């Protein structure tokens, strides 16, 4: 048997319920599927939680805009975009507080626990995988929902 001595400190690692994660993935990928079908314009904020999705290759019908984003671009977003996809929710949370667009955020369980105000801002949560298991679940759900286009 393998025994390890644990120091006097208690570690705290937040994890997300697998069923809740599955539901968030399904909801988020279904929305992205609808956006793709309607050729929507999506504003991407930040580059922190990319987690291996080829956004431009996977969602060919969606027009993604990534560039220099400041308060003016975010406040004018309802005029030009149909969705805001936020990859760095902690940085942009304050700016997205009362925006009239659906906001999809890619966040880790740790970010959600440390900054619960993120849940007040977001409409769709795309959990960022924190383990290989989470990444495999995300890949399976993305393949099921987004793979329907290739079959039709």
Indicate whether 120 belongs to any domain: yes
Question: Percent of the chain scored above 70 by pLDDT?
Answer: 75
**Backbone φ and ψ of 86, nearest 5°:** -105, 115
Written as six digits, the tokens of 82 are: 């149909």
Grouping H, G, I as helix, E, B as strand and the rest as coil, residue 73 is helix
CATH number for the domain that contains residue 45: 3.40.50.10490
- Which spans in 59-124 are helix H? 71-75, 77-80, 89-92, 109-114, 118-121
Q: What is the pLDDT of residue 124?
A: 92
145 has a pLDDT exceeding 70: yes
The torsion region of residue 128 among left (phi > 0), alpha (psi -120 to 50) and beta comes to: beta
- Contact yes or no for 108/130 (Cβ under 8 A): yes
**Domain region containing 61:** 18-151
Q: Count how many domains the chain has.
A: 1
**Encoding tokens for residue 129?**
């995988």
Q: pTM above 0.85?
A: no
Q: What is the pLDDT of residue 110?
A: 83
pLDDT, residue 103, reads: 92
Check residue 4 and give its pLDDT.
Answer: 43
Q: For residues 4 and 60, give the distance between their C-alpha atoms in angstroms, rounded to a whole number.
A: 49
Whether 3 maps to a domain, the answer reads no
The β-bridge partners of 84 are: 43, 103
Per-residue pLDDT tens over the stretch 1-49: 343 444 556 666 677 777 888 888 889 888 988 888 888 888 888 777 6
Strand boundaries in the chain, DSSP class E: 41-45, 63-65, 83-86, 103-107, 124-127
pLDDT for position 59 = 60
Task: Evaluate whether residue 10 is within a structural domain.
Answer: no
Is 117 inside any structural domain? yes
Q: Is residue 39 one of the residues assigned to a domain?
A: yes
91: pLDDT confidence band, cut at 50, 70 and 90? Answer: confident
Average pLDDT of the chain, as a whole number: 77
8, part of any domain? no
| Domain membership flag for residue 9 | no
pLDDT at 61 over 60: no
């Amino acid at each position: 048997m393998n025994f390890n001595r644990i120091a006097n400190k208690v570690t705290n690692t937040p994890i997300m319920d697998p069923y809740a994660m599955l539901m968030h993935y399904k909801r988020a990928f279904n929305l992205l599927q609808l956006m793709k079908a309607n050729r929507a314009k999506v504003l991407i904020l930040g580059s922190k939680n990319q987690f291996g999705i080829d956004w431009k290759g996977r969602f060919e019908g969606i027009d993604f805009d990534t560039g220099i984003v400041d308060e003016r671009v975010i406040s004018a977003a309802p005029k030009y975009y149909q969705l805001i996809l936020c990859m760095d929710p902690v940085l942009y949370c304050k700016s997205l507080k009362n925006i009239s667009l659906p906001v999809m955020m890619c966040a880790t369980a740790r970010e959600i626990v440390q900054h619960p105000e993120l849940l007040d801002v977001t409409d769709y949560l795309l959990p960022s995988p924190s383990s290989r298991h989470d990444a495999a679940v995300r890949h399976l759900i993305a393949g099921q929902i987004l793979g329907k286009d290739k079959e039709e």
